Amino acid sequence: ANGRQWTCSFCGFLQATPDEYVADLDDSGKRVDRYARPELCRGTVEYEAPAEFMVHHHQQPPVFMFVIDVSRTAVVSGFLEAVIAGIREALQSGRMPGGARTRVGIMTFDTSLHFYSLSLNYAQPPMYVVADLEDIFLPAPAPDILVNAREC
């Protein structure tokens, strides 16, 4: 709503935009400063909610989106194999924060982004491709992309 609120693409939670972060929107509803802010135009951002956040908000289950480089270099170097082994260990260890409520998803990338529908029992999960890296969006509902960690 005029840049004063935003919705998380993964959990759907509506958030108020902090006053110091509000910016004008262009005719298409996008922030005019989006290319000046790395967190809005680059693919890697990590946030950690402070403890007081949980006092004022309904506690959401933890969500881990594993973002994996599947470029030729990652495959040839063995990086992809090591990342997959690390993710497998994290999921099978039972030590991920959040216990039974933890949700996970997988996104891979090379020259485009690839999301996978993990919610259905497919031998090969359907893949959704986001080729326009200037206008990144979640190509399927979050419940299709995010599953309970114990189902993996």
Do 40 and 81 belong together in one domain? Answer: no
Look up the domain containing 11 and give its range. Answer: 1-47
**pLDDT score, position 43:** 60
Using the CB atoms, write b or e for 60-96: b if 16+ within 10 Å: beebbeeeeeeeeebeeeeebeebeeebeebbeeeee
The 10s digit of each residue's pLDDT in 64-114 is: 999 999 999 999 999 999 999 999 998 888 778 887 788 999 999 999 999
Number of domains in the chain: 2
**pLDDT score, position 134:** 79
The 10s digit of each residue's pLDDT in 6-34 is: 877 666 778 888 888 888 889 988 889 98
Q: Is residue 56 part of a domain?
A: no
**pLDDT score, position 9:** 66
